[in-house]
C-alpha cells in the first residue's frame, strides 16, 4: 500500500475508533449532552475523511459507493494482507 | 472490521409463542449446521483464500451469516417470549429453562452446546470450498425439516427466506470453487534472468 494511502487510512481508522469509544460511553451515559455534541462533531469529521479516502482508493464498505466495471470491492489489499 | 445495522436482514414478526418449535429452531443458532458455525467457518477460511473473488465471497457470506444468526435468535426469542416455566417444561424445554431461563443460548436441537468442532479451516482452498458447499446443503436440508415441523406462517416465512439464501450461497461457492480451480490449474510462468546477468558468471 502506498504511504499516502496508508496515512489517510490511519486517519480514517482513528476517526472511526473515536466514534466506537464514544458510542460505548454514551450507551451508559445517554444524558451527557457535551459528549453527544462531541460525538456529532467527530462523526462529521469521520464521514469527511471516509469520503476523501474512498474517492481516492476505493470502497471501505460495499454499500453506498458508486462502482464502475469491473467490480472493485474484491480488489486487494484485504485488511489482513 | 464490522459495523452494526439496527435492522434485521428480513423481517421476523411472530405473534403466537410456540416453545416446542423454538426447541427445534435453536439448532440453526448454535447447532452443527447452524448460522454461527457457518459464519465462523467462512470468516476463518477467508484468510487463506488464493483469489480476490474467493476472499470476497467468504468475507461477505460470512458477514451475511451473522445477520442470519440474528434472525434465528429473534425467532427463538419471539417463540418463547413470556412463556411460563411449566409451559416451557411441557414443550420439552425444562432443562433449557433450568440453565438459561428465557435467554437465547447457542446449542443444537438435542441440547449440545455450540462447539468449533463443527467447522474446519484447512488452509487448502479446494478442501475448504467443498466443505462450504456441503455446509450450505446441510443447512438447506435443516431449514426444510424445520419448515415441515412448523405450522405458523409467521415462522415459515422467515425460514423460507433463510432456506433460499442457502441455495444462493451454494451457487456462489460453486462459482468461487471454479475460479480457484482455474487459477490453480494455470501453467506456472517463470521469468529467468539470462546467465550473463548473473554476477557469478560476469567476473
Q: What CATH number does residue B75 fall under? A: 1.20.1260.10
CA distance B87 to B109: 18
CA atoms within 13 A on the CB side of B68: 33
Q: Are B29 and B72 in contact (CB under 8 A)?
A: yes
Q: Nearest Cα to B144, choosing from B25, B10, B13?
A: B25
**What's the whole-number mean pLDDT along residues B48-62?**
98
CA distance A33 to B6: 23
Range of the structural domain that residue B40 is part of: 19-202
Q: Which three cell numbers stand for residue B199?
A: 554476477
CA distance A19 to B165: 33
Phi (first) and psi of residue B96, to 5 degrees: -60, -45
How far does the CA of residue A14 sit from the closest CA of chain B (Å)? 13
Q: Are B12 and B90 in contact (CB under 8 A)?
A: no
What is the CA angle A50-B70-B35, rounded to 5? 105
Tell whether B73 is covered by a domain: yes
For chain A, the structural domain boundaries read: 1-81
pLDDT of B37 above 90: yes
CA distance A80 to B7: 28
Any chain B CB within 8 A of the CB of A74?
Answer: yes
Phi (first) and psi of residue A44, to 5 degrees: -65, -45
Q: Which of A73, A79, A80 is nearest residue B56 as measured by Cβ atoms?
A: A73
Tell me how many domains chain B contains.
1
For residue A44, how many other CB atoms are within 10 A of its CB? Answer: 11
Of the given ranges (A1-5, B84-88, B166-170), which has the lowest mean pLDDT? A1-5
Look up the pTM and report it. Answer: 0.92
Write out the DSSP string of B71-90: HHHHHHHHHHTT--HHHHII
Q: Are B82 and B22 in contact (CB under 8 A)?
A: no
Any chain A CB within 8 A of the CB of B7?
Answer: no
The confidence score (pLDDT) of residue B73 equals 98
pLDDT of B203 above 70: no
CA distance A46 to A44: 5
CA distance B142 to B122: 24
CA distance B92 to B109: 11
Q: Which of the residues A27, A78, A79, A81 would you substitute to probe the B interface, choosing the one with the greatest number of B C-beta atoms within 10 Å? A: A78
Any chain B CB within 8 A of the CB of A77?
Answer: no
Question: Can you tell me which residue has the cell 510462468?
Answer: B189
Q: Among residues 1-60 of chain A, which lie with CB inside 8 Å of chain B? A: none
Tell whether B176 is covered by a domain: yes
CB burial of residue B174 (10 Å; 0-12, 13-18, 19+): middle
Q: Nearest Cα to B75, choosing from B184, B158, B132?
A: B158
CA distance B132 to B60: 13
Tell whether B14 is covered by a domain: no
Tens digits of per-residue pLDDT, A15-65? 999 999 999 999 999 999 999 999 999 999 999 999 999 999 999 999 977
Q: Nearest Cα to A50, choosing from A18, A76, A26?
A: A18
Contact flag A62-B60 (C-beta cutoff 8 Å):
yes
**Model confidence at A80, in pLDDT bands (50, 70, 90)?**
very high
Mean pLDDT of the residues in chain B? 95
Tens digits of per-residue pLDDT, B98-115? 999 999 999 999 999 999
- Which chain A positions have a beta carbon within 8 Å of B55's beta carbon? 74, 78
Amino acid at each position: 500500500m502506498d504511504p499516502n494511502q496508508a496515512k489517510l487510512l490511519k486517519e480514517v481508522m482513528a476517526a472511526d475508533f473515536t466514534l466506537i469509544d464514544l458510542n460505548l460511553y454514551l450507551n451508559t451515559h445517554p444524558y451527557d449532552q457535551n459528549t453527544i455534541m462531541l460525538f456529532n462533531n467527530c462523526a462529521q469529521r469521520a464521514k469527511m475523511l471516509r469520503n476523501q479516502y474512498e474517492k481516492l482508493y476505493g470502497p471501505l464498505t460495499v454499500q453506498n459507493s458508486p462502482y464502475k466495471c469491473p467490480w472493485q470491492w474484491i480488489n486487494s489489499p484485504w485488511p489482513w494482507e | 472490521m464490522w459495523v452494526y445495522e439496527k435492522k434485521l436482514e428480513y423481517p421476523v414478526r411472530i405473534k403466537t409463542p410456540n416453545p416446542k418449535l423454538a426447541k427445534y429452531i435453536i439448532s440453526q443458532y448454535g447447532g452443527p449446521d447452524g448460522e454461527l458455525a457457518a459464519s465462523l467457518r467462512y470468516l476463518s477460511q477467508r484468510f487463506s483464500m488464493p483469489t480476490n473473488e474467493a476472499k470476497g465471497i467468504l468475507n461477505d457470506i460470512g458477514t451475511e451469516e451473522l445477520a442470519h444468526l440474528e434472525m434465528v435468535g429473534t425467532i427463538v426469542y419471539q417463540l418463547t417470549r413470556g412463556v411460563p416455566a411449566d409451559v416451557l417444561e411441557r414443550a420439552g424445554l425444562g432443562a433449557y429453562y433450568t440453565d438459561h431461563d428465557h435467554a437465547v443460548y447457542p446449542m443444537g436441537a438435542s441440547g449440545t452446546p455450540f462447539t468449533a468442532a463443527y467447522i474446519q479451516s484447512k488452509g487448502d482452498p479446494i478442501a475448504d470450498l467443498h466443505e462450504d458447499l456441503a455446509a450450505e446443503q446441510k443447512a438447506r436440508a435443516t431449514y426444510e425439516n424445520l419448515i415441515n415441523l412448523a405450522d405458523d406462517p409467521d415462522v415459515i416465512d422467515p425460514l423460507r427466506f433463510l432456506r433460499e439464501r442457502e441455495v444462493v450461497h451454494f451457487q456462489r461457492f460453486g462459482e468461487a470453487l471454479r475460479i480457484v480451480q482455474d487459477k490453480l490449474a494455470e501453467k506456472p510462468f517463470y521469468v529467468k534472468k539470462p546467465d550473463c546477468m548473473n554476477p557469478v558468471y560476469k567476473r
